[in-house]
Structure 1
Amino acid sequence: MVTSRIDEWVTTTWRSVASTWGLLLEFAGIGPDVDPHTRVTFRAIADAVVPETPALAEELGPEHVAGGLAVDLDEFAITYVDDGFQFGLPHLGPQGNMPIADPIAHVLDTAALTLLERGDNEEEPSLDRALSLLGPDDPSAAKTESAVGPFAKLSRRDRLRAIAILDEFEVEFSPTDHDLLELDAGLVGQLVVGFMEMIYYSEWQGYDDFTEPPSRRNHPNDPDAVQSWRQTGFPGFANGYAALRGYVGTDDGPLGDGDAWTTIDETTGVRIRRESGSFRENDYDTGGYEEPFPVESG
């Protein structure tokens, strides 16, 4: 009975979220500065996916302490998913964009409530936990308190559990009267986890304005200007990093050929060679192999 009520509530909530898309198209200016719910939800995502890790300071150095919130990863994600995702719907503008940060925030609230209804949370939700995510440039706690959703109130581990629940959801929605879109909600989980991790370790933090087209962006290429570069010791990009340096092969292997460029492992004879080799037939004897399921001709 409880499961039935959960499923019915989730379905109703998804429909409610979907119905807001038309309004979002009219209010495309809604973003992190005017929507405290979206902002605090995305801060909760960044805090869970790339958390601050003070315990690593002594072992690896202070550059390993900062997490996603220290570099405004949440702000980048909101801007990117609202302005950068192109759905190819010409009646929505020249690039067919739809702002989706706000619907994503509501979807995560749905998953959080489902987690709580099932009793799968390890810790109790806390408003103070959510408000602690706010930064100095965010709306005040008094203005944000009423906008905080259930996802942001969860602990870090419980937020990740809620994201995992999204794999169970599927939804259909109509952003306009002319479109019907189907969505596997698990894609939302992949977006908020995989995308944020990838972006955190990219070069985006160094750009003076990452919203500009690539041809107009300026990057100082300074390792000290990018948090993830400081963590990984990446020296910055340079001409030739992506150039082909040779072909991996062993002394008796079929791939790399010609003079050795450099040696990777002297013991096993793995080297980078200047010329490509060739593939060869393997030595497996498949003469007695039979298909486990006969293939019918016809």
Structure 2
Amino acid sequence: MSLALTRTPSRDAEGTRRAHSRHHSSVDESIVGPDSWSRRILGGYLPLVIACLVIVLPLLWMALSSLKTSGEVVTQDLVLWPHHPSLTAYLNASAKVDFPQLFLNSVLVTAVGAVVKLVLAITSAYAFSFLRFPGRRFIFIAILVALMVPSQVSLVPNYITIAGLGGVNTYWGIILPGLGTAFGTFLLRQNFMSLPIDVLEAAEMDGAGHLGRLFRMVVPMSTPAIATVGLVTIVDEWNNYIWPLVITTDDSRMTLPVGLTLLKNIEGDPSAYPVLMAGAVVVILPVLIVFLFLQRYIVAGLTQGAVK
């Protein structure tokens, strides 16, 4: 009798599980239907496709226009693909502007500025996350306020300071005012706060100091977020235009975005449009290459940095 009593609930439970599974299968079949696919396409894929087209089509048109002749660019008939692709526009642009020197200046300014800003962001984020010192919250709030202030507000004070120090037409004059990175500090601080504190406490018990915990524990566990900050910093440094334009007047110290202004004397000539497009391609291409190498870290880094 006891055996029968113990088996009855199991049979009932088995029947309940089967009914539950049938219910879920019917619900899944009802969800995956024409209406669901239409909502998924209209609400998900279609906006993504439109956003990609808005971003990609101008870049594609710029690259194709740099391979066209002036007659194919300035015409009433739309020419999508160049009939005879050539690099003539790039050669003409190189003849008018010293692209190797401008490229070297941009690489130097971007490399030094990005490395210093990334190191400062990592160390300051570690301090805000794991150190206790007076005024920590107030200083962090001040950094958040700095995110809301446009960089153009400090343009005149920075110029007066750098010019007074003799930094006009110098590399350090271009790099120095932009070394502070409120965005990088904020993002990395949010990411560091989500790390398991037990690991850091165990490392501290083993005798690891702050630098040891930072570079042996925190940095390896935060690689996606650090790569994201690094990519954003590189793009920002490479595309920086206003400050290098203000602080440099010598062609040998100009960066690539500023050096394109040397082509302004041909802007009134419609036949020079392929040359301008070629110069723009030279400026954008290095950033796209860096993005291709680091793009897999972007989503993971922003997600880890945004959620504690």
TM-score normalised by length of structure 1: 0.23
Name which one, 1 or 2, has greater alpha-carbon Rg: 2
Structure with more helix by fraction? 2
Give TM-score scaled by structure 2 length: 0.22
Q: Which has the higher contact order (CA 8 A, sep 6+)?
A: 2
